[in-house]
Amino acid sequence: MIRSAFRAGAFTAAVLATIALTGCGGGDAAVNTGPFGGQQYRGDATCTIALPPHTVYTDGDLAFRNSGGTIAVIDKVSFDHVHGLRLLAAYTVPNTGQGGGYGDWGGYPPPQRDLPASVIWADRQRADGAHIPHTAGTHASVDLVLVTELTAATGTFRGISIYYHATGDHYHMDVNIVLTLRTKNNQPCPQL
């Protein structure tokens, strides 16, 4: 398992940017609206040690909750300001919150036996089209697991956009998070 060499740890302030309401009513919505909004999301800046070219890397550091009373459906997950990375797959994975999150891994997602018991890999869904029920429990969450491939000497994204809908309204959750994969240790590591 490859762990990040640099992580802006203990960064627990809210890092959600503008969330725009684009549903039936139209117009702009306040920041953190919708069932995925209004939570204290953690924003990390992760930068790996030197990796071989074309490495596959799995990032599962973003956790969120559905605080709404109905199911929310994810329409699309995409990177913001991406260079040198390709998104191979994105999954939502339920997490009971009793034993840790998904975390970061070198390669494709590992089998359940290598994950914390709280991560319920067997109940994963492809993120595009995932149906996210109300998140019950104080510590429970949904982990967003991103499988990426390094396509240049350095690959990075600066943000994740999650477009979703619930009860006829459409939302955009824009999370300020940075991931950098690099082939040499002397390449820069962007921060939040």
Instruction: Name 161's bridge partners.
Output: 78, 174
pLDDT at 100: 78
Picking from 76, 115, 78, 71, the residue whose alpha carbon sits closest to that of residue 93 is 115
pLDDT digits (tens, 9 = 90+) for 131-186: 999 998 888 999 999 999 999 999 999 988 899 999 888 988 888 889 999 999 98
pLDDT at 27: 40
User: 185 exposed, middle or buried (CB, 10 Å; 0-12, 13-18, 19+)?
Assistant: exposed
pLDDT at 73: 97
pLDDT at 6: 31
Q: How many CB atoms lie within 10 A of CB 191?
A: 11
pLDDT at 175: 85
pTM of the model: 0.80
Instruction: List the chain residues with pLDDT less than 50.
Output: 1-31
What does the alpha-carbon distance between residue 122 and residue 143 come to, in Å, rounded to a whole number?
13
pLDDT at 172: 87
